[in-house]
Amino acid sequence: VSSLRAVEAAMLVVDGTGTIEVGTETGWDLAQEAGITKLFFVNKLEKENSDFTRTLDALRAKFGTSVAPLQLPIGSEDKFVGVVDLLTHKAYTWANGKISPADIPADMADQIATMRESLIESVAEMDDSLMEKYFDEGTLPDEDIAKGLEIGLKTGKVVPVLCGSAMKMVGVDTLLDFIVSSVPSPASVPPVEGVNGEKRGPEDPFCALVFKTMADPYVGKLTYFRVFAGTIKSDSHIYNANKEREERVGQVYFLLGKTQEATASVGAGDIGAVAKLQETSTGDTLCEKSKPIVLPPIAFPEPVYSLAVKAKTKADEDKLGPALQKLAEEDPTFRTVRDQTVGQTLISGLGETHLDIVVERLKRKFGVEVETDVPKIAYRETITTTAEAQGRHKKQTGGRGQFGDCWLRIEPLPRGAGYEYVDAIVGGAIPRQWIPSVDKGVQEAMSRGIVAGYPVVDVKVTCYDGSFHTVDSSDMAFQLAGALAFQAAAAKANPVLLEPIMEMEIIVPEEFMGDVIGDINTKRGRVLGMEPMGGGRQKIRAHVPQAEVLRYSIDLRSIARGRGRFTARFSHYEEMPAH
């Protein structure tokens, strides 16, 4: 996701068998949201049952008529040997991974003429002068086709489709040539804009966005960045505008696949990396201290699936926390937290597979093996009626004894109000110094629960009477009296369990909407509303108990055949049904 902020275009690779995978839809949506150029590469045309025409039809049906083929395959399945370029009207074949010019097959002439004419019509629509020229002359020269295509790529009105076989290296050369010649270059994009409206172009003072952070076994923490303005040099200092901290830069690198190539500097339009920045994390803006700018933050998907983890061995317990923190630094879609209310370490990610990878990386990278479990639900307790009770603690064991006595009135508060303590003592029934002791004892009892051991919330407690002993009364005695009084009153106040309710937004194709709503109903949920999202999809908003959706990413994948997505966040607590 973050990489889309660092590039001008996204290439979506699809299988040539004609099936559009869920990941392709997701990639398209992300590229659309990022506002960058998109292109398709139809791969694996050497496979049995591959069919370029069927795949092209599926792409157009899913993503619209802006999808336009720039190439046609020569041959099919195991006889796939090359491509015809509709832009240049030239053919190329490959043998042993080497490209050679070739004659256009005679049996493809009519198909090529039809497809090329359709392409020319599409690019002519990008510009009034091109359209006028096309009407006058009935065609366009190659340079005008290229001009129209450039406009279409930038505006998203043309989404080109190229084809090949990565395994046989067929079509790879022409794909790379097209990317170099036609995909928008960093020099052609408008200046970036900061959150306060500042703009930076290539010639302006240095400005870069950190889009990835990872731990490298050889150089340590490695920060990946895209430079939008100016230059970053090795052995210099830069300013992290988000953290408002200066960072020392050691060696900067260009990236060549998995390897880093040391360089003296990285300039505007380039992607680079630097090791061992102490304060910097993904999404931060790096710049000159004298010319600060903060670029818009990267929007990451919220985690939707959680597990509880614990180290398998005592020796791994101390290593688990730091290892999880390092993984969270590398992956902004991964979260880890110690939930004190349920006594569990929780990890959260984008789905079951995501967390499987996290667990595997813990073992491979940090040598930490963990056991996973379903997270415990953070239930709460409350009362539903007003009640009063006395708490009296008296103990005599020889010498100074213990004595504390108080009367409490407890009342339910609105959901989410928390806890309120009122001192209504008059006439010195309880000395002032021990009024807070009663409060402390009440809160201790509330933390232990009434019904099932969960914390009590949304209660008003009024201490209105009591008594004391001039010798035996103490802070601890009144704490114990307060706890006893609360427990006795709460037992009479019709205590109930509260469960956390999640607010969910679920996006699915329309054909699955009924099944999703039916599933929500079986989970004791309430549908709040529906909203059309375009592209044949619907957004469903609902309130659902957390206990019912701990594994919802798995449920939704089954219901919507992998074509749905959702977000969930805590909304409020509600009383649990009695059954």
CATH code at position 333: 3.30.70.870
477 and 401 within one domain? yes
* Residues 477 and 404: beta-carbon distance below 8 Å: yes
196 and 169 within one domain? no
46 and 159 within one domain? yes
Q: Which two tokens stand for residue 233?
A: 């040099």
* CATH classification of the domain holding 93: 3.40.50.300
Q: How far is CA 438 from CA 411, 465, 480, 485, 486, in A?
A: 17, 11, 8, 9, 10
Is the pTM above the cut of 0.85? Answer: no
Flag whether 297 is in a domain: no
Tell me the residue type at 275.
A
Q: Which segments of 144-258 are extended strands (E)? A: 159-163, 192-193, 199-200, 207-216, 220-229, 231-233, 236-240, 245-249, 252-256
3-state secondary structure of 393: strand
- Around Cβ 287, how many Cβ atoms within 10 Å? 26
Q: In whole angstroms, give the CA distance from residue 402 to residue 268.
A: 76
Q: Which two tokens stand for residue 232?
A: 């970053």
Size of the chain in residues: 579
> Domain ends where: 325, 357, 373?
373
254 and 217 within one domain? yes
Q: Which two tokens stand for residue 193?
A: 């804009």
540 and 400 within one domain? no
First to last CA, the chain: 44
- DSSP code, position 433: G
Flag whether 514 is in a domain: yes
- DSSP code, position 284: -
Q: In whole angstroms, give the CA distance from residue 303 to residue 310.
A: 20
Could you give the dihedral angle defined by the CA atoms of residues 560, 566, 569 and 573, in that order, rounded to the nearest 10 degrees? Answer: -20
* Residues 434 and 473: beta-carbon distance below 8 Å: yes
540 and 404 within one domain? no
39 and 27 within one domain? yes
Picking from 146, 139, 141, the residue whose alpha carbon sits closest to that of residue 177 is 146
Q: In whole angstroms, give the CA distance from residue 563 to residue 149.
A: 31
Q: How far is CA 174 from CA 67, 70, 93, in A?
A: 19, 11, 11
3-class DSSP string for 82-143: EEEECCCCEEEEEECCEEEEECCCHHHHHHHHHHHHHHHHHHHCCCHHHHHHHHHHCCCCHH
**pLDDT in single tens digits along all 579 residues of the chain:** 788 999 999 999 999 988 888 788 888 988 988 889 999 999 999 999 999 999 999 999 889 889 999 999 999 999 999 999 998 889 999 988 789 999 999 999 999 999 999 999 988 998 888 999 988 888 888 889 888 998 999 889 999 999 999 999 999 999 999 999 999 888 777 899 999 999 999 999 999 999 999 877 677 889 999 999 999 999 999 999 999 999 999 999 999 887 889 999 999 999 999 999 999 999 999 999 999 999 999 888 888 899 999 999 998 999 999 999 989 988 889 999 998 888 899 999 988 889 999 999 999 989 999 999 999 999 999 999 999 999 999 997 766 789 999 999 999 999 999 999 999 999 999 999 999 999 999 999 999 999 999 999 999 999 999 999 988 999 999 999 999 999 999 999 999 999 999 999 999 999 999 999 999 999 999 999 999 987 788 999 999 999 999 999 999 999 998 889 899 999 999 999 876
519 and 556 within one domain? yes
Picking from 23, 31, 38, the residue whose alpha carbon sits closest to that of residue 5 is 31
Q: Which two tokens stand for residue 197?
A: 């409206």
Q: In whole angstroms, give the CA distance from residue 468 to residue 406.
A: 9
> Domain ends where: 440, 467, 494?
494
Flag whether 296 is in a domain: no
Picking from 376, 313, 316, the residue whose alpha carbon sits closest to that of residue 341 is 376
pLDDT attached to residue 196: 93
Picking from 20, 16, 41, the residue whose alpha carbon sits closest to that of residue 29 is 20
3-state secondary structure of 397: coil
173 and 69 within one domain? yes
CB-neighbour burial class of residue 264 (10 A; exposed 0-12, middle 13-18, buried 19+): exposed
pLDDT attached to residue 579: 65
Q: In whole angstroms, give the CA distance from residue 520 to residue 532.
A: 18
228 and 145 within one domain? no
452 and 528 within one domain? no
554 and 409 within one domain? no
Q: In whole angstroms, give the CA distance from residue 456 to residue 470.
A: 33
Flag whether 219 is in a domain: yes
Total structural domains in the chain?
Answer: 5
Q: In whole angstroms, give the CA distance from residue 26 to residue 497.
A: 40
Those residues with Cβ within 8 angstroms of residue 61's Cβ, 6 or more apart along the chain or in another chain: none
Show the domain range for 258: 192-287
Q: In whole angstroms, give the CA distance from residue 259 to residue 276.
A: 17
